Amino acid sequence: MRIPPYYRDRNWQRFFVGLAIGAVISWFVFLQIFGILQEEQVRELAKQQDLISDLQNDLKIWQQDYVQLNKENKKKLTIQTINVHIMNHEQYALDSYTRFRIEESIKKDIHYLIAKDIETVYKSKELLKKAIENKTYIIDDRNYRIEIETILFFTTLSIELKIKQQ
């Protein structure tokens, strides 16, 4: 079987040349449109990167301000509540009412610390210890002395005590 000689016919030659020229022109049109779209994407990315860097700078400024305000606020913190807890009340078989009376008596003795700033209270912790430990508590004809185990200073002053019978 023989292939017809279309390559010699002028109409077919024009058709194939038109296809080739159309392909080249469409390729250039495609490249032009693709280039324009890529350029828009690059501009958009540049805008977004600028926005991101601006927001990161703003975030750093806010964080620095936040840290500075926290430092200032920590300097201004005050004692708001006082918690007293007797740790070895089971050893002396103290009932809850007796334990409550001792804890409330200690709270009453140091209630003046409420609304004082933490730094001042911390500086006078030895005085606070002596004020609590030097007092004898008389409950139900028994004398009790208090020994401070731990003191925690923050907005809540937490004191853990051990009780000793004299």
Question: Is 7 a residue whose pLDDT tops 70?
Answer: no
Averaged pLDDT of the chain:
89
Range 14-40 average pLDDT = 95
Cβ burial 82-120 (10 Å sphere, 16+ → b, else e): bebebeebeeeebeeebbeebbeebbeebeebeeeebee
Extents of the domains making up the chain:
6-75, 81-165
Question: What one-letter code names the amino acid at 39?
Answer: E
Provide mean pLDDT across the span 104-119: 89
pLDDT band of 136, cuts 50, 70, 90: confident
pLDDT of residue 95: 85
Cα–Cα dist 151/114, whole Å: 15
Helix-helix angle 96-109:125-133, to 10 degrees? 140
